[in-house]
Amino acid sequence: AQDSDVEKVLNEYNIEFFKIGEVNQSETLKIRQKEVKIDLNIADFRKKWFKTSYLLDEKQTANDLAKTRFENFAKQPLHYEFPAHFTGKKPVINTSKSRPKAAILREKGSNSEREMANAMYLAGFDVKDVHMTDLIEGRETLEDIQFLGAVGGFSNSDVLGSAKGWAGAILYNEKANAVIKNFFAREDTLSVGICNGCQLFAELDLINPDHEEKIRLLHNDSNKHESGFTSVKIGKNDSVMLSSLAGSTLGVWISHGEGKFHLPLAEENYKIVAKYGYAAYPANPNNSDYNTAMMTDTTGRHLVTMPHIERSTFQWNWANYPKGRKDEVSPWIEAFVNAREWIEGKQ
């Protein structure tokens, strides 16, 4: 709002006020009081203000990364590159035909299932909630499901490691194991594993099953949980969900303690779809091999991502959004729309 607009409202309600300053584009805070003139460099004072956080961070962050964060916080500005075709409008769904079926897979301790369900529904899916007990007890086979989403969270409180208990519930239960194997053996299915779901798919060796050494998700180099807003650069890729976003740089939330991709082979052996906007900490919150944020299997149908794209589908979800845009959704919704259109094209 303009100053004059605010002043008008205050005057209408007879609220006394005093104008003490104006905002401008300068990097200097100018204080004037009679003969007193003080000019403060905002960048310098921001660093002084941030130092308290650094001193606290230093006591809980490993590998001298608190210092790295302090040195880099002003060197890693968020820059975005939206797809040229992105309109910002919500997806238009053809209500004359039935929606393809998607399922949310969760375990005790999971979270973000509502955000993922909302993204899927908004993109045109009929979404089903599936708990691990449904697989274990034989109530759910996923035979009518074409899109499976494994959600984030801290399944089983990360006891024994992230997603290890969740994976064990599949690997060591005959019914659940058969359901997952049958789903991934089909050629008409898609999946996305986000955060804890990414760790699950890695534990189940679903991304590069032909490799002798499987990918692993290790503890962040900071040796602590990282939660923040960063950016990822999406390269040219064959991912069903993300190929149309190639060339984009988008903001996204991260929240994980074990998000470091350990990729034992040379980079060309993996389908890395997206990398963090900066290779250094904290923009890359975990020091993943090859700066990896997202990757797919060799078919491009099965996507794993540590960043939470499902938590970043609306403009107001982002901690920072391009100024002046009035979008109804963010570009991330396109990933889920692409999934629906691919499935419809196979029918």
**217 touches 198 (CB < 8 A):** yes
The torsion region of residue 135 among left (phi > 0), alpha (psi -120 to 50) and beta comes to alpha
Question: What backbone torsions phi and psi does residue 96 show, to the nearest 5 degrees?
Answer: -80, -10
**Both structure tokens of 128:** 């089903």
> Is 308 a known active-site residue?
yes
Closest CA to 301 of 264, 265, 345: 345
Q: Which helix (H) or strand (E) holds 152?
A: strand 152-153
d(CA 333, CA 312): 9
d(CA 314, CA 90): 10
> Is 225 a known active-site residue?
no
Q: Given the residues 140, 195, 258, 302, select the one marked as catalytic.
A: 195
Q: Given the residues 113, 226, 310, 334, select the one marked as catalytic.
A: 310
Question: What backbone torsions phi and psi does residue 129 show, to the nearest 5 degrees?
Answer: -90, 125
d(CA 1, CA 33): 26
In the chain, the amino acid numbered 290 is: Y
Angle at CA of residue 318, ends 312 and 324, nearest 5°: 125
In the chain, the amino acid numbered 104 is: I
d(CA 224, CA 221): 8
Residue 282, preceding peptide bond in cis (omega within 30° of 0): yes
d(CA 139, CA 219): 35
Q: What residues are annotated to the active site?
A: 195, 308, 310
